[in-house]
Each structure stands twice: as C-alpha cells, then as structure tokens.
Chains A and B, each alone.
Chain A
C-alpha cells in the first residue's frame, strides 16, 4: 500500500513542501506539494534526493550502532555504554578544565529546531558554557551580525513569494540557479513580469545571463562597489530624504565615508564600468518596489559584515522597507540554518535572538532551566582549530550533525586539531570525514524518520514529519542529547518534539504563537508570531519601525579592504568555492542518492577560463592538479567562457577534489566567517590522464572502504 507523507525538503533554505511516497515501509518517490514557497514545484534534489534513506552505500554508510574508539579502532557498543562513556568523559573534562573547555555544535540540517534547542540548552545548562555554534558561522553569520546591527533582525526582511512581484531585483553575489532553484523560479518570474534585473557577480551566472545589467566585478571588491552605490545615491540626491530623516540614523557619517568612492574610483578597483554603477543606482532608487538578494558571494569574505551593512544601507537610503516586495534577502543556504540560528545554536544568543549578556534575559532562562547560566559569549566555530592548537583551551568537541573536515577551511589544520582533543563526539546519520577522528559516535535518526520543525530562509516555521521507521538502534537527536545530559546530572526528558517546541515558545516572545496546530492549519508560520491569535509576519519592519535599540535603521560604510591572500608568481590564480545544483553541502546525503550521484560524481570540478586553460594546455574534462599553500588535490577541469581569466571556482561538495584542502582560514573580524571565496592557487596539467583516472578510482574505492565503518555486514 502506498502512503503519502507531507513534509519539507531537507535541502536548501527554500522550504519546499513535498510528499514522500512510502511503499511497504520504504520511500519510493517524492512528489511536489503546494507549499507557500514552492507552489507545487521541486528541483532535482527535491525529486530525487530521498534515496539516501534507503542507504545504498554509494559514498558512505549509515551509522546504525553507537561506537567507542578502543585501542585506536571504532567498535560497536551498547547505547548504555556509549551514553555512560560520553557523560563520564565530559564530566571529567568539565571538572578538570572548566566548562569552557567543551565546545558543541548545532546542526543546520536534518535534525530540526527541537534538537537544536535541546543541544544549546544542554551546552548552557548542563555543561555551563555558551560554547555552541554551527555552520551558520561559515555561511550567513555575517548576515546575522550585519542585519541585526542595521535593521534589528538577522533574517530576510521579506518573503520568497514576494520576489516575483518586485519592480527591480538587485542580486549581489548570489547564484540562485544552483543554490536555490525554487527561488530562481521567482527571479525568472519577476523578469517575465517586467522587473529590471541587476546582477553583481564575477561569474556569468544564469541570473547574470538573463539580467538587464550584469556587473562583472572582480572577486574581493564588494565593499568598493557597495560604497560607490551609496556614493551615487547621495551625490545625485537619489535617496529618500523624508525617509532618511524619519527612520534612519547615521547619515552624515555615512556620507563622509562614501565620499571618496566615486564610480570612477570604484571602477579602478572593481572593474565595473562607472556608467553602469550610476545607471543601476538610478534605476534602484527610482523603482517603487526594489529588492536586494544576496548570498555567499557577500558573506564568505573577510570583509563580509561590512558589505552586509552596506547593502542594507542602500535599501534604507531609498526607503525600500516595510512593504511587500522590497527589503533585503540573505537567502539562507541550508534547509534549517535559519532554524538553528532561531534556536540559539549561537555563542551569543539564547533561542529567539535573546542576548546571553543581558542580565534580565539570562535570569528568565535561569529560572526556566533551573540552573545558573554563564554570562559571557562563547567561542565561535571557526576559532576552534586555533583555540585547540595555539591556545590549548578546548579539550572536548561535541559535533552534532556537521562535518567540519569537509565543510570548513584548511582541512589539514582542522584534522590536526581534532586529533589533539581529549574527546571528540560525533552525532550523525552517516559516517563522514570528521567521524574518522571521533572517540564516540552516536547514531541518530534522519530527516524522514522523525518529527519536528524547520525554518525556511524567509522565517517560515514548517512541520517535518516522520515517513518511515528509522533503522533499529538509532535514536532521535534530542533524545540522545537528553540522555547524555541526564547522565551528567542535569535531567532532561521529553515525550516528543512538540513538548520541546512548546517549552521553547514560552521563552521566545517572537515565536510564542507558532504552535504545531497553527503550522498544521496554515501550512507554516512566519516569525515574528507573538501570540496564539497572530497569523505570522510575511515582511518585517511594517511602519518602518526597525527592531534596533533606537528603533531606526543604521547606515554604515567603511573603507574597502582587499582579501588576504593575493595571487603571486608562485600561485597565480584565485580560487573561490561555489555550489553545484545536484549536490548538497558535504554530500553525505546527495552522494548517497543514486540518480544525483550518477549525474555528477567525484572528484568534482574546477571551473577555469578559456585563456587559462589554453595557457596551461588543459582541455575540458581533463583531470588537473591544483595546489595552494595549504594542500593539493586533483579535480576535473570545466573550461567555460563564463569564467574570467585569473579566477577559478570549485564546488565544495566533493571528497576527493575537496577544495577545503586548499582554502584559507582567514576570518571576518566580526562574524569570524572564513574567506572561502578568495585564496591563491596554482594549476598543473596532467600528462598521463589514464593514470590520473585510475588514481581517482583508487582513491574513491579506498575512501568508500573507510566509510563502511559500522555498516551492517551484508
């Protein structure tokens, strides 16, 4: 008998609703549902991305039993032993070095909001530290910091469905076609409905291809371009004077800071024509409804928070807030990265973006959780390798639903850091590169096997539902964490995810009214939703009341800073990491989907220009060797006329062509987000292609073998 279970896609922040088709307890297909953001459409990951639930063991294998490293080898143990060992070790480390020697992560992926709530509660209440962070740090961390400063809320001001009704879209460093195909659909629809499309991107992305104006800026020059935008708005008096005087602060300082950034000066830095800079800002200012969308091309630089604030300033200057189809949209990458931020899996805030340093708020949480709580901001995820290797401050790392060895920069250094720790706990659904360094492995249920709530990129809480039974021997994430916590003397026991959700709602004023039953009735609820009778909020800042401390929008501009590692004679090309449409994140999920992995498989591609390919004697499809100061890997050349000479791009999903062996761990000073989008590399052609192909096959086979740890023997 076939069953259809309504749930939310586990890939990307678009929040598409879909039905899982279940036959005899097994998922056999997916069908689009009529969700708010997707309206009966899915991309290829939504259609074919459920397959990993059947554990075909293509790339890695499902974790089915708890494991403890004994005499250097991971060995299956009982849950009792695993929980007992974990709790005992954590307690001993806490006793010996203090609670701040323990770091934990949230998970922006399958587990859902409830598990993230329980994890941050465990770190704060049971361990006694604010050392909790997650992959938002390597992603939209700058958006949370920058938009909170400028506007008050670190999220999309407007909704995904509103995109198609705007008059002008300014897309900055955001490749929707591969990141969010279902958001790209709204961009295409906007264009079809007559909107002006402006795209700032070094590559000719699909949005750039259909744009009215493409601004092909050089990588690493965002701030100079954004400042020049501001300069034009001020100098040509295109800004909305009434709006600025009523709702915005910091104009005089802003004006002084952008003064030097004439379009001509910006052209000398960015390579974008001065006349185009003037033209697009005139169009932007004069549009009744204009929307900014941006992505990793803004956030994954060491000057990221500044650019976020700069982009928000453009919308503030022109009064593009507080209405439909305006505002600014950091379109979140992972399915629940908005949610894990919402749930306080961040070192500086409790759930609902409430500061850990605010005594009144801390008191509220201390009362609810029945224990004193730490009052200073915890460590950030990207500081972890340094804190371990250089400062000797972290001794234990509880890694929950993340694979930092694959996803974080400078992989070699990260592996070294993990090996130096006294305790590495990995809680996941699949064996992965990080788990190879684990002392304890706690196997969890996957998307499709548990209930919960995800937050879409546009602040939409939506229910995910259990469709199939999990493998025997795995437990829901929140239950595992609760058991560890209880064993450490801070009892936590929940009957189900709804009970956790209701506890969370009571503590978070902006989520208070978003009950399971309301999500059930409406299909989803967008926060803020302060009360039971509140329908949710499609767009923020109604009446131009910002949620900053002053209630006004804050303008910001500052000097442009060049990226750290510039190309030189030895490493003459730049490398930026990017995404590929058919794969997701660290590829444990899509790499285990048969159709998706057949469409595109290891070792992954490096996109290079026609000129650089000719210069190096590299043909399209050939394997090449890529070197940086931190490592070397092999990848397949993808020669494209859409790439500028001197720049290369690699997708970060692949394990053999793992670009994070090459990337630099240089961070934004505020958000501590790494500069994934810029480092220097060298390319080498490989003369013996047959041998190189054989070497890739061998590496892949060895890697798969390593990943079979704990797989149930056939």
Chain B
C-alpha cells in the first residue's frame, strides 16, 4: 500500500465517549450553514441530520462514522459512480446520487444513511418524479446518501472549503480554519474522544492500532 496516499479518517474511543452527541450537532451545524443552522438568522426547519451517529449498546458508547475505506465497497456498489475517491476522501456527489441505497447496504459499518435533501432550510423537490400527497400530485422530495466527508465540502466564512489548503504558509483558509477548526466533530468533543488520523502518517500498523482495527 502506498502510505502517502491513504485516506484520513476520524476515529472515536469508547473509553472516553460519554454519549453527549455534541459531535452530531457540530456535524449537522457545519454541513447545513446554507440551511440556516449555526447562525442566528432564520429558524431551523429541518431535522438534525448528522453524518456520524452516537451508538449506545450495553458495553460501549461511541460515534460511528465513515472509515474512508481504501477499497470503498460503497463506491463499488454505486451504479451511477456517484461515490468517488477525491482528494484523500471517499466523496458522495449528492447531485448524482439516485437514492438507490446500494451504498448503505454495502457499507460494513453502517456509516451511510439516506435522508431527505434540503436547500435553504426547505425540502428539496425532485425535478420530475411526483407522488400523490394530500390527494394531489406533488413533486417528491429528493433523497440522497449522507456520510462523513471529513468536512471537505463545508464552506467556511472568510476562507475556502476546509482542509483544501495543503500547501505551506498561512493562507486565509488556514486562518479561517483556526477559527472554525475541523473536522467539526473532533474540535467540539469535550472529552477528546474523537481524533483525526491523518492518512499517510506513521506506519500502517500504527494506523490500524489507532483505528482500533488490529
């Protein structure tokens, strides 16, 4: 494996997580700025749709999120190639997604969910497909796959998309990132139970250990 090209991922430690869901809210807020979340203007009209989920069983509590698999089974399962390897992350193209659920079924971690799409705080209707609601034909709400994108597609005010300035020097984006640290879930966790494991750093064995998979 070419270590330098491996994907980064966010991992959680069950020994530290208290299940408070601050990560879920931070994730939801950072991905829905254009839906009126995270600012005082407007009212949130959409449900909380995070891209990671705090799971609570008898013996553990921790958020589960996308592993950014190197041989992503979700991408292999997608019939329209809406899931791609892109800049060190497995990315879903929401525009191209047809909502077929193949990726959610293929994911061994349960890290992909299908939800209604929102724009401007309102449900995003389909261009063509209609359904009968309240005894009249209406455009059906678009449903797409959601998963962790390591906050790559979140616009930060005063800067470019988070995490895109791989180059040296203090860019505006870097300054903006200091103010809006990312990934949002890692930055917000009061227990420091979440961590970004950078791809390509350290040996694959230590990456495995950090990822809790060896």
Contact = CB atoms under 8 A, between A and B. Distances in A.
B15 A595 contact: no
Interface string B1-34: 0000000000000011111111011101100000
Contact of A43 (B17, B43, B46, B190): B190
Interface in A180-209: 181-182, 184-185, 188, 191-192, 204, 206, 209
A51 interface: yes
Contacts of B57: 641
Interface stretch (B58-66, B79-87, B103-111, B198-206): B58-66
A209 B60 contact: yes
A594 interface: yes
B8 to A, nearest CB: 23
Interface stretch (A23-31, A491-499, A524-532): A23-31
Interface in A50-71: 51, 54, 56, 58
A26 B39 CA distance: 10
Contacts of A670: none
A131 to B, nearest CB: 39
Given A28-B39, A47-B26, A185-B191, A209 B21 contact: no
A29 B18 CA distance: 24
B47 interface: yes
B155 to A, nearest CB: 16
B100 interface: no
B22 A181 contact: yes
Contacts of B60: 209
Contacts of A182: 190
Contact of B58 (A41, A596, A641): A641
Nearest to B179: A31
B44 A598 contact: yes
- Residue from the set A26, A176, A192, A594 with the largest chain B CB neighbour count within 10 Å: A594
B117 interface: no
Interface in A581-624: 581-582, 594-596, 598-599
Nearest to B39: A28
Nearest to B189: A41
- Residue from the set B17, B37, B56, B191 with the largest chain A CB neighbour count within 10 Å: B191
Nearest to B22: A44
A51 B39 CA distance: 9
B22 A206 contact: no
B39 A177 contact: no
B21 A582 contact: yes
Given A185-B191, A192-B15, A595-B29, A44 B44 contact: no
Nearest to A22: B40
Interface string A14-51: 00000000010011110000000010011110011001
A594 B28 CA distance: 12
B38 interface: yes
A26 B40 contact: yes
A51 B21 contact: no
Contacts of A642: 56, 58
Contacts of A210: 15
A176 B16 CA distance: 13
Given A29-B38, A54-B40, A177 B19 contact: yes
B58 A177 contact: no
Contacts of A47: 22, 25-26, 188
Instruction: Give the secondary structure class of A's interface.
Output: helix
Contacts of B21: 44, 581-582, 599
B22 A184 contact: no
A642 B48 CA distance: 25
Nearest to A181: B20
A209 B61 contact: yes
A581 B20 contact: yes
Nearest to A191: B15
A133 B47 CA distance: 40
Contacts of B59: 209
Contacts of A594: 37, 43-44
Contacts of A29: 38-39
Contacts of B38: 29, 595
B16 A192 contact: yes
B212 to A, nearest CB: 16
Contacts of B26: 47
A188 B18 CA distance: 9
Given A26-B40, A181-B190, A184-B191, A48 B47 contact: no
A414 B169 CA distance: 65
Contacts of A27: 40
A43 B20 contact: yes
A26 B40 CA distance: 7
Nearest to A32: B190
Interface in B58-80: 58-61
A595 B37 CA distance: 7
Given A28-B39, A54-B40, A48 B18 contact: no
B3 to A, nearest CB: 29
Contacts of B18: 176-177, 181, 184-185, 188, 206
Nearest to B26: A47
A599 B58 CA distance: 22
A196 to B, nearest CB: 15
Interface in A621-673: 640-642
Contacts of A48: 25, 29
Nearest to B59: A209
A209 B18 CA distance: 10
Nearest to A23: B40
A23 B41 CA distance: 11
Contacts of B28: 595
Nearest to B38: A29
Contacts of B40: 23, 26-28, 51, 54
A612 B90 CA distance: 43
Nearest to A53: B40
Nearest to A26: B40
A282 B159 CA distance: 58
Contact of B48 (A51, A176, A598): A598
Contacts of B190: 38, 41-43, 181-182, 185
A188 B16 contact: yes
Contacts of B188: 42, 44, 47
B25 to A, nearest CB: 5
Contact of A595 (B19, B48, B193): B48
A184 B40 CA distance: 29
- Residue from the set B25, B28, B193 with the largest chain A CB neighbour count within 10 Å: B25
Contact of A56 (B29, B43, B193): B43
Nearest to A24: B40
Contacts of B17: 206
Nearest to A178: B20
A44 B16 contact: no
Contact of A44 (B25, B43, B46, B56): B25
A594 B58 CA distance: 30
Contacts of A595: 25, 28-29, 37-38, 44, 48
Nearest to A596: B25
A587 B19 CA distance: 20
A176 B18 CA distance: 9
A599 B25 contact: yes
B48 to A, nearest CB: 5
Interface of A: 23, 26-29, 38, 41-44, 47-48, 51, 54, 56, 58, 176-178, 181-182, 184-185, 188, 191-192, 204, 206, 209-210, 581-582, 594-596, 598-599, 640-642
6 contacts: A44-B20, A56-B43, A204-B58, A581-B21, A594-B44, A598-B48
Given A27-B40, A177-B18, 10 more contacts: A28-B39, A44-B25, A54-B40, A181-B18, A209-B60, A594-B44, A595-B37, A598-B46, A598-B47, A641-B57
Task: Rank and list the top 5 A-B pairs by shortest CB-CB distance, nearest first.
Answer: A177-B18, A594-B44, A44-B22, A41-B190, A641-B58
